[in-house]
A and B are shown apart, each in its own frame.
Chain A
């Protein structure tokens, strides 16, 4: 009887398992195979007299690709820590039971998550347009002598992307920390206060260590998300000026489906590199999380 039930259990998970195999694992394998093929994906790259690793070697000579790689890591190194620190701080503040209007503040800070990535990218693009509101305000306050072409210069365009990303995702990550803090015994904080620990001390010695598993998880998710940035690059800066703010996914998309430049083999090689990067960074993160015990 028991064994018969366990066998029936397999039928329940069959559909989902098959779908994930067909629409995730197989395409991943297929991308690896295509990465050794030519631009149409129909012939092996070696058939045109090139070495089998041609598409991979090409990446490192491709200046645009190296820029997208650099951009991705720039966003990763600057934006992710700023966002996560803000998120933990906000969670810590909002977790205080004495605070009034907690629900209201939480809703406001969480609200940016309710709108799509394309929507917020377009809102920020409009706000930071040369004729946009940000310039009007800064000019009126006398902070800048003339209108800044935010999205037309590499440095400021990258700043706008980072700024927008922090805006969109801080509340999202805060929700994870709030969920993590809810499991914490509030009396620990009371005890710390009686012992004379100030806010900063309790933050570093109680909140952060307790939240470590959640912090690692949000780190992995943020790395994953940053490596796959697409909507913002396309809709906020369109990769510009001159491709200097483009992300890897955006460049891969252009190489696969862009007009005139379609190269399935090369795009697949780059996308397989993204997969490897995601995997490596996730493993590093988990390892770092483990050894601190």
Chain B
């Protein structure tokens, strides 16, 4: 059999796979495509089942600006997610560095205990955290948003696992050059762990941007702008829903994370699978 014939035989055998994949791919992408088209149509057109792009985008945009604090919520979402990402990466990578590269029995036990925190559901700590933030006057502040999830066992584990192959000889050489332990972290560890930082940043930013339950609890001020997920949830809260406006809101809420997804898909996949090697 020639190479070419063999190839086509293999491809022929894969036809059911292709059919299945095309169906699943269409199924996965269609709701998002529909969201895009709905954002450009009037609510009547959406209700009539139109699935092509329309001419109502600017009207929907004006209505959206009139009915919700869009720029305020976008700004908040960006600011909160960025603050959480920067702080979380710093704190968790420092901890992962400490746990792995300075490990001894005591630290391994502490790490095992921290891992138990992974099982604590968000809904269970919501009430005590709310009371705590209220007492510390941190409701409706960036600190109130950030603090409960700035250090997570998952992130620490990710840095700890990924530090496993970090060359100890490099550290020793740096010490001989007179670098302190913290300087080794900043000058050698951080640059060498760039890809782990990228994966961790993508996943932390996305989780922060998309979070809904905790922001709803902690952002209590009724007059200030909320975050994007809360904004779009409120758009759908009335008795009559303008589907064009709602889907434009959903589009604004999804755009940053979808862009991040397309640019950094590999890092995102690494981020969610985290410590699997």
Contact = CB atoms under 8 A, between A and B. Distances in A.
> Which of the listed residues A17, A28, A272 has the most CB atoms from chain B within 10 Å of its own CB?
A17
Given A109-B28, A114-B254, A127-B31, A28 B120 contact: yes
Most buried by A among B92, B119, B129, B206: B119
Contacts of B28: 108-109, 111-112, 167, 171
A85 interface: no
Contact of B253 (A12, A118, A214, A275): A118
B276 A126 contact: no
A49 B211 CA distance: 40
A20 interface: yes
Interface string B1-39: 000000000110010011011001101110110110010
Interface string B123-158: 111111111100000000000000111111100100
A186 interface: no
Given A20-B114, A41-B131, A253 B107 contact: no
Interface in A19-70: 19-20, 23-28, 30-31, 34, 41
Nearest to B104: A6
A262 B276 CA distance: 42
Interface size grouping (class) on chain B? 35 or more
B57 interface: no
A13 B233 contact: no
B119 A224 contact: yes
A31 B153 CA distance: 20
Contacts of A264: 127
21 contacts: A8-B181, A13-B98, A27-B125, A27-B132, A28-B125, A34-B128, A90-B21, A112-B32, A114-B260, A114-B261, A116-B253, A118-B212, A118-B230, A119-B232, A123-B34, A167-B31, A172-B272, A235-B236, A257-B130, A257-B217, A268-B128
Interface of A: 5-6, 8-13, 15-17, 19-20, 23-28, 30-31, 34, 41, 86, 90, 93-94, 96, 98-100, 104-105, 107-120, 122-127, 129, 131-133, 136-137, 140, 167, 171-172, 175-176, 178-180, 183, 214, 217, 224, 227-228, 230-231, 234-235, 248-249, 252-253, 256-257, 264, 267-268, 271-272, 274-275, 278-279, 282
Query: What are the 9 closest A-B residue pairs judged by CB atoms, nearest first?
Result: A9-B102, A12-B98, A136-B49, A16-B95, A114-B261, A116-B210, A27-B125, A27-B128, A108-B25
Interface of B: 10-11, 14, 17-18, 20-21, 24-25, 27-29, 31-32, 34-35, 38, 46-49, 51, 91-92, 94-95, 97-99, 101-104, 107, 110, 114, 117, 119-132, 147-153, 156, 181-182, 185, 206, 209-210, 212-213, 217, 228-230, 232-233, 236, 241, 243, 246-247, 250, 253-254, 257-258, 260-262, 265, 268-269, 272-273, 276-277
